[in-house]
């Protein structure tokens, strides 16, 4: 059994989002993000935006910025491939962009279909001009997200934070 170390990081992550005045969170339902999604739904100062595909989330983040709000896209690693064409929007228009991605297809993965995209996530994002920061320890989540939000919203950077499968815990089938 792999220990899931997520006991405190969702609360710390939620506080970082609030501190950085994040007003919209587009997401697809994901077990790795379930606690933070629950907290967002319970809080009336952040608007949760349920998506049908991940590329809609890229557009939602851009639209939020154009409307005067800050936003963060939550998704799973398997959805990164769906976003490739839309990431050209954030690059060409120089929008600030932050996404927090729960990784699958890594440490202790039971589903072989998750492995190919997982191994391509970082390189794919970097080829699209997105900086990538990987987090494997609970105590690194809040400072990494805080730094990413500061960088993105102070100088229009594009940043992805990858939450490793060691951090979020593996799914059991």
Q: What is the mean pLDDT of residues 7-23?
A: 92
Residue 2 lies in a domain: no
pLDDT digits (tens, 9 = 90+) for 115-151: 667 888 999 999 999 999 999 999 999 999 999 999 9
Structural domains of the chain, count: 1
DSSP assignment, residue 82? G
Is the Cβ–Cβ distance between 51 and 28 less than 8 Å? yes
Any domain includes 31: yes
Choose between 81 and 113: higher pLDDT: 81
Task: Give pLDDT tens digits for 25-69.
Answer: 999 998 889 999 999 999 999 999 999 999 999 999 999 999 999
Q: Is residue 170 part of a domain?
A: no
* Segments forming the whole domain that contains residue 137: 9-165
* Closest C-alpha to 122, from 138, 105, 145: 105
Do 97 and 64 form a contact (C-beta atoms < 8 A)?
no
Q: Does residue 136 lie within any of the structural domains?
A: yes
87 confidence band (pLDDT: 50, 70, 90): very high
Residue 105: inside a domain? yes
Helix (H) or strand (E) holding 23: strand 22-27
Report the C-alpha gap between 93 and 156 in whole angstroms.
10
88-110 average pLDDT score? 89
Residues 108 and 97: their CA atoms lie apart, in Å, by: 30
- The CATH number of the domain where 113 resides is what? 3.40.50.970
Asked whether residue 69 is domain-assigned, the answer is yes
With respect to residue 1, please indicate whether it lies within any of the assigned structural domains: no
pLDDT of residue 8: 79
Give the global pTM: 0.91
């Amino acid at each position: 059994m792999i220990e899931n170390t997520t006991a405190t990081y969702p609360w710390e992550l939620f506080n970082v989002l609030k501190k950085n005045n994040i007003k919209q969170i587009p997401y697809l339902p994901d077990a790795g993000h379930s606690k933070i999604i629950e907290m967002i739904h319970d809080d009336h100062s952040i608007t949760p935006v349920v998506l049908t595909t991940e590329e809609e989330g890229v557009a939602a983040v851009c639209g939020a910025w154009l409307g005067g709000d800050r936003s963060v896209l939550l998704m799973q690693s398997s959805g990164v491939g769906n976003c490739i064409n839309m990431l050209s929007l954030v690059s060409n228009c120089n929008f600030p962009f932050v996404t927090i991605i729960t990784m699958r297809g890594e440490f202790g993965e039971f589903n072989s279909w998750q492995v190919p995209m997982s191994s391509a996530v970082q390189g794919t994002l970097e080829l699209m001009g997105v900086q990538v920061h990987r987090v494997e320890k609970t105590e690194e989540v809040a400072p990494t997200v805080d730094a990413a939000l500061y960088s993105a919203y102070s100088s229009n950077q594009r940043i992805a934070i990858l939450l490793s499968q060691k951090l979020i815990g593996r799914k059991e089938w």
